[in-house]
Every structure is written in C-alpha cells, then in structure tokens.
Amino acid sequence: MTNALSTEQNLLRLANRLTELAAWRDLAALPLALTFKWSGGTQLLKEGDAWPARELPVTFSAVLSVPEKWQGQLVILDLALGGEALVLLGGVARGGLNPYHSEIWLGETVEPELELRVEAVPRGLFGTPTYAPKVERSRVLLPDLQVRALCEDLAAAHQAALELNKQGRSEIADLIVDVLSDVLNQIPVPRGDGTAYLTRAWQQPDLRATLSSLWDEWSFTGLPLPYPDADRPALAAAQQALSAKLDAIRQRYPTEGRLALSGHAHIDLAWLWPLAETRRKIRRTFATVLSLMERYPDFTFNQSSAQIYAYLEEDDPALFERVRARVKEGRWDVVGGMWVEPDGNLISGESWARQLLLGQRYFASRFGVQARVCWLPDTFGYAANLPQLLRGAGIPYFFTTKLTWNETNTFPYDLYRWEALDGSQVLAHSFRNTGQGYNGTLGAHDTLATWKNFRGKRQHDTSLFSFGWGDGGGGPTFEMLERFGRQRDFAGLPQLQMTRVAGFYDEVEAQASALPVWVGEQYFELHRGTYTTQARIKQLNRALEHALTDAETAASLAFKVLNRPYPRETFGPLWEVLLRNQFHDILPGSGVKAIYDDARRELETALSAAEQQRDRALQALSDAHGSGERLVVWNLSFDERPLSLSLPFQTGMKLSAPDGRPIQTERQGDALIVCGEVTVPGLGYLCLQIEGQEASEIPIPSHDLTLENEHLKVVINTDGSLASVYDKASGRESLDGAGNQLWLYPDVPREWEAWELDASYSQGGERLTAAEVPERLAGQLEQAVQVRYNAQGSLITQTYRLRHGSRRLEVDTRAEWRGRRLLLRSLTPVQVRAAQASFETAFGTVQRSTTSNTSWEAAQFEVPGHRFADLSEADFGVSLLTDSKYGYSVKGNVLGLSLLRSPISPDPSADAGVHDFTYALYPHAADWRNGTLREAHDLNAPLLAFRSSARGAADQASAQLLSVGHPALRLSALKLCEDSDALLLRVYDAHGTRGEVRPQGLDVEKWTAVNLLEEVRGDGLSFTPYRVVSLKSEP
C-alpha cells in the first residue's frame, strides 16, 4: 500500500487509530467510594476528592461487591489514589500502586464483601512530595478482553515499526505499516452516535486530556456503551489477519540477535527516601511481581540484597513465604550474594568479606540457594580485588551497567573476564540500553538498542537484558509482559527469552577463554564527588570498620585465653548496621537528609556498642596479664608498634617499662601523652607499671613555629602552610614548595550535584591563608602549632602535631562548615618524581598515573583511596594518610586530598556543622611498603590502654599472642566461625609478594584453609601477591 505520507507520518496516523480503539478497553465500570483513615479520624472519599490530611502513611478501605452478572468474568480494580500505595485484599498483599501500576486483578470469582485495604503515602516514585493528593481514580472494571488483546497486538507491531524505522530498517517498517493500515480498516469503530462516541472517548486518558484542555471545559461523563456484539466477529477476523501477515513478514525478515530477559525492580535501599519508605516499597513491588507471576507463567524475576529480603521477612511473613515458593520453583532468581548492593570504592576488604558472608548465609538459610551472580548495576566503580572475593564466596559471575555512564572514555568490553590483583577471574557482562538502562521497558526501542550496542556478539550470540521500573516503580508491568509475548519472535527485532541470570552466564562459560581480560579496578568516570560528600557518615563507616574488627579480635583473644564467652549474638546485628549503611546511595552521600539522620544515629549507636565490647574484652585480658598497679597497652595489629598513647587525663601517672626504664608522660589539656623507648608486640600487649601520680606540663613560647623530634624537623609558615618537612634519616626535604595548602573552590557541577566533582573545578578557587599568626601550643612530648582560617565564613582550625618518636606529622582539623556549594582541599607538592602513585584499596594497593598523557589518565583527576596515598621514588617517598577521607588526587608531584563538600541536592544541608578529622604526612625511605600501612593503621586504630590492679600472671609483662610469620601479611579478621567455636583468622598480602602463612600462638596446632563462607577449600597455607587467606583452627 502506498500513499503520499512518509513512514513517520503513517505511523503517527496509525497511532491515533490505536488510541481511538483503546477507548473500548472496558465493558463496564463501577465507581468505588473509599474510607480514608488518618490520625484525625475517617472520611468517605470518591473520585476527585482531596485527602483530608497528608500523613505518612494513611489507609483507604472499602468492602467490595460486584454485580452478580459479573461473576465468572475477570474483574479488575483500578486505583490511582494520589501516591504510592500497597493494595491488600482480604489481608493479602496483591500489588502496588504507582504511575506504572494501577490495575489489580480480582479474578473471575470475587468473594462477597471482600475487604479492601490500601496503605498509601503522599509521595511520588522518587520521593517527590505530593502536596495536594487526591483520589484520581477509584473504580471496579469489567475489562473487554477481546479489545484489550487486539489493542496489545496492534500496539506491539506499531512500536516495532516505529523503532525499526528509526534504526534504518524502513523496509520492514513499511511492511508493518501496510499491515496495520489493512487491519485497522477491517475493524468497525462505532462513530455514528456522536454523544456515545464522545462518552466512550472520555474513557481513554489521551483523548480525555485533549478534550478537557479545550477552552469550553468539556466533560462527557455519561454511561459509556460497550463495543457492539455485532462487530465482534470482525475483531476476531482482524486479529487473525494481523497474526498471519506479521508471520509472513517474519519469514522474509527473521529475528536478529538474542536477548536473555530477567525481570528486575532495582529497589534502592535508600536514596531519595529513607529506609522506612523502602520497606513499604519492597512490599508493594514484591506483591506486584508475585501477582504477575500468577498470570504469566514464563515470567522470571531477579532480586539482590539480603537486607531487602530480611525486611520483608520481618514486615510481611506471608508475602515472604510466597517469595520463597517462587524461589523454589526457579522463577524468582536470588542474585547479588551480598547484604546490600554496596559502594564499590569506599568499603574495606573485610567489609566486602562480610557483605558476602552475611548475604550468602542468609540466602542459604532462607532459600536453600546461594547467589552465583554479583549483581551491581548501579555502583560507582569497582575495587581491584573484588573478583577474588567473589570467587571466595562461590560467585563466578559479575554484572554491572554503570560503566556505560563514563563521561570521557568508553569502557572497551561488555562481555569479558575481569581479573583481580591476585589473578582471580570472574566472567563479567554489561549491556548498554540507551532507553531505560537496567530498568528496561521491554519495548522495541530498548531491546533493539541493547542488541545494537552489544559488542560481545563476536564471542556470544546473546546479551542479558533486565526489565522493569525501578525505585518504587514496581518492577515489570503487565504491559511489558504482554509486549514480550508479542515481540519475542518478531521480524527484525532480537529474539527474546526469559532466563535465570546465572543461566545466561553458564551458556557464555564455554567461550570464556576467548573473551578479553580487564585487569584491576574498574574506575568509573563519573560521580567522583561521592568520595567526599556526607563526610560524617564516611567517618563513622571507617571508625566502625576498625572498631568491629578490633572488638572481634579482642573477644576472640579473651575466648581463647580466658574462656570468656564470645558475644556472637551482639556482633551479628552490629555488622548488619555497618553493611546496611554501605549501600551505594547511603555511604557515597547521594541521598536525602532523612537518610543521614537515620544513618548517623544507628552508626553512632553501633560504634559505641562495638567499642564497649572491645573494651570489656581487653579489660578482662588486662586483669589477667601482669601484676600490681599497671597500665596494659594492647596492639591489635600484627605490626610491632612504638609506645605512643593519648589517654583521657584523669590523674598523672608515673610509668615504667617491664625492664624498669621510665616512660615519659605529659599532660596536654584534657589528654595525657605517653611515650617511651619501647615497643608493643604485634597482636599482643605490654604491661607498664604505675609507680605514682606524675605528669609534666611544659609551656613553649608562642612564637616558635618549628616542630622537631628525632626523625623529623617541621617548619610552619606564618600563612599556616608548611615551609619544610625534613626527614633526618634520609637527609631529604619532603616538600617542593608550601605544603598543606588549603584551597577553597566553587563546587557547582553541571549535573548530579551530590555525586559530581567536575573536571573544571580547579580552574577557580582561592588559597586560604591563616586568619592570625599561628600559635605554638604547650608540650614537649607532643609538639603542636595551631592555625586558624576563615573560609568564607566557615572556621577551619588546624593543629600540626609531632609526637616524640613519631615519623609522621599529623594535621588535626576542626571545621565549622557553613557555606554551600564549596569544596575544601589540601594540596602538598613534594620533592618526589614518579610516573605512578599508590593508593590503598580493599585488600590491596593500586597504582595510578601521575600524568595526563591520555584521556584515560586525565579522567582520573580525582580517585578513591582508603587510608593512604603515596608517591615514591626508588629510595624515598611521602605518604598522605587519613583517618576518614577517601577522595585523593596525585598529579605531577602534588598530593591532594578532598576534605569537605557542601552540595545542595538532594540534601541542602549536607555536611553543615562541625567536623573533626585528622590526616598526616609520612616521609619514608624506599616506597610505601616501608611502614606506610603501619602508620596508616596506627592513625585509624591507635594502641589501646587499660588500667588494672587485678592479680594477673606476673611473668607475662609483654607477649605476642598470635603471629603469622611474614611481614607482608596484614590482619583482616580474628573471630569465631559462624557455626562453631573454631577460630577464623583472615590475613592478606598487602605488599604484592609471596610466601606462606605460618600462624603460631593461642594453643592452635593446626589451621585449615577455608573460603570466605568458611567452607574448607583444600588448598594450603601459601599466598601469592594480594591474596586473601582465611584459616580455620582445628581442635
């Protein structure tokens, strides 16, 4: 068929015909009045009525009854109530309400007086407040299944033609246009009675919007007539003709490519709404998915995050059991393997291990399965050693789509092997859907784009494709599933098949050896501001990571040495708090204020509880070791550490070492500084005898801006910056100009405000100078100079501290942060020339270029790191250490650290208030392997001291309780196993070397290698570079 119209014009013409026919989708409709209940009472509401109150949540209720003549026919509840909502029928969750889901199927037999209850919130999908919520629709429908089915057939073909034409396949699109024109011309539309036609047109949302927008304020609210029975044979004939003609086109133009489909809902644990709302979103989404599964037997769905299931198990046990049944059936796919979908850059190695341990154990205990696919579609970059950890938790496959968001360089692969620092590999896959990304709509645009963009076609004939509205959108819709049935084998489109996610990877596995390999971190070229935003939460995360592992270590020592009960029931919930708040929109700082109010409260509570458990165990151990009045100093790392303490001052103490040497003490304000020419053994203790009450306090003239000990000589400029950091051992000046320059930059990114740090940020900015002459503080054991800055109204106070015997210069910082859209950074040029800088990451170290020779290097102008960044030559280097910061830059010879940001969205008050944190400079011989990790750990987890007069073991004044026989090994965890009282020791190689783990101590004669799930793995005790080794003690 030819006419004067273009393909695009014909498609537009046909779209209007489809809209017209859709007006007859329902045979009949009955209005449904609802009782609205809130704290102030109840009120009966009908369509168009406003809510009498905006509480969160509120409830609607009604008793449903339908006409007797409707029994035996499908009945649908159609609701749009002014916000997201959960629908319960007879007390059973049946589905969620949102812009994409409004129909709840009641079935063909509706119980008399069926109780309806709806729990609603006056919020939109992304937490947007609905300030004037009203009942938009509330009715019971008798659908016209014949008209609906034909409309879906026609719409699927029309959509396919539209997208094929856009993709340059006009030859197929034109054939489909001809078919649609012929079929629509066969369908009688009752247009003869104008009033009846307009009344029916009013039922179609697009036509109603057109008519109601007119000046004359039209409204057609009569009783609409159903589609005439006399014309129904023509509908059936049209549907048959459409099917036959589309089959003929498919014979000429078969499907191209193949997509493996999995339903998905991407429920952000918290983002633009708090956790409490997420719990409601979970119930709405899962109820919707389960109802769809009843109607569409091919439909499969995946969901990650043990925390989400745990919430459901607690909030709606009946709904949880329905999920369990679908998991057992095989249509509900458990993926992820972790407690949440965490941030991929900021969490420690042990946090990754516990994400996997707690997640996989939960899945195994509740569903009898463990996840085999790491599902992280939305995390902002991926740590270099993650593949090793996934393998250690029984997860051979990795999925993301986030790297397709890169703003500068295109990530080269979408089907590849990802190799960790230690050489472990996982099979990795991504897809690029230019439509709705990982929340695909399962329409022709998304499926065509995904197949077109799939670069792994050469190695495999199928790409994965996830579909369903996320973030409260309820996941897949019945429209998507209807579309799947019609486009699964459609001319010119990819062939579609439902799958289990791991099943897709299993098929690829046969070709895995031919796939390209990406080695190391997967740096995300976007969202670099997330290394800094919401600094308090990041600081609490770091502190709790250290406190929890220290508490477990102390409790394990007390269990083995004293037979003291191990508080397993306490540690589990504390880990859950930490892991939950590592979610990729909580820890990165990209959520609304309500999230951080909650996170701060529970992280602070957990930190206090962890410290209490640690201190109780160490006090008990202190009472059991040494004799007389003593101060027992504990070192919970493998490093032998110099005695250096800062204790809360109560009374002065005259102390001596076990060999009788005096220990120096000095009061400085509210602190007692303790230093001595002795060391504390690794994973052990040192008893200091208390011989009286004595502590000196020596004032120093305020004009002296030089700090000096046996290792360093530091000079502070009058503007507050560092003039010199001279390393005595090497005879080298560390600085190449002023050090610790504080810079304040305007911070107004082009988009994604809390997430972004634009590449152009450094083009503006001002260097801060001291508001007054720096002040020398009293003290000899710890020398200090204090500097005050005014940063556009924010008060910054920095105290340079150099303690006796210390090799690092600390910069204690208090910021009274008041401004908005500002970025505070520290810059330190050093006399080191190196092509690469080193940064701590989870269970390892990564090297990044200090140049910008390529676009890949230039894109890394801000990078994530944990406790240190380092720039070293062959014989000398300088490390930048932090106790809570994660955003670094090292370009040229300048060590940069982002200290604070203040974006205004999605939290206008982000980071306002007082911040206390510390960073430090550590000059050293050789590279970072020469003490940087020891100093970084000591900054984050200093020695701990406990006073005791209890009778202990007089001959044990100092001891190492456990050693592992290699200086490159770092302690990650010492705890009891999850299912037994055996010890679990986890160490990792931090230096990139090889050797064997030789644990000695704690009366353990044999250790057996286990994986991260504490299952025996059969290999020995040897390790290779950056290898994580977990060992279980044998009886």
How many Å apart are CA 187 and CA 611, to the nearest integer? 75
Is the Cβ–Cβ distance between 764 and 917 less than 8 Å? no
What is the end-to-end Cα distance of the chain in Å, rounded?
Answer: 84
799 DSSP β-pair partners: 786, 812
How many Å apart are CA 47 and CA 584, to the nearest integer? 40
DSSP structure string for 926-987: SSTTTTHHHHHHHHHS--EEEEE-S--BTT-SEEE-EE-S-TTEEEEEEEE-SSSS-EEEEE
785 DSSP β-pair partners: 776, 800
Residue type, 45: L
Is the Cβ–Cβ distance between 491 and 245 less than 8 Å? no
DSSP label at residue 372: -
What's the Cα-to-Cα distance from 183 to each of 150, 174, 752, rounded to whole Å? 10, 14, 47
Written as six digits, the tokens of 675 are: 């230093």
Closest CA to 91 of 325, 322, 326, 319: 319
Peptide bond into 906 cis (omega under 30): yes
Pairing of strands 983-989, 1022-1023: unpaired
Torsion sign, CA atoms 430, 431, 437, 441: negative
Closest CA to 323 of 287, 284, 299: 287
Is the Cβ–Cβ distance between 226 and 464 less than 8 Å? no
Reduced 3-state DSSP string for 43-61: EEECCCCECCCCCCCEEEE
Burial zone of 716 (CB within 10 Å; 0-12 exposed, 13-18 middle, 19+ buried): buried
Peptide bond into 903 cis (omega under 30): no
What's the Cα-to-Cα distance from 536 to each of 135, 580, 852, 885, 915, rounded to whole Å? 41, 16, 32, 10, 7
Cβ partners under 8 Å of residue 800, min gap 6 = 707, 714, 716, 722, 784, 785, 786, 787, 809, 810, 811
Is the Cβ–Cβ distance between 878 and 924 less than 8 Å? yes
Pairing of strands 258-263, 495-498: parallel
Q: Is 461 a catalytic residue?
A: no
How many Å apart are CA 540 and CA 152, to the nearest integer? 52
Written as six digits, the tokens of 92 are: 């059973």
Written as six digits, the tokens of 229 are: 């029975």
Q: Residue holding tokens 């196993």?
A: 977
DSSP label at residue 514: G
Q: What are phi and psi of 485, to 5 degrees?
A: -60, -30
How many Å apart are CA 459 and CA 465, to the nearest integer? 17
| Active-site pick, 378, 414, 639, 870 | 378
Catalytic residues: 378
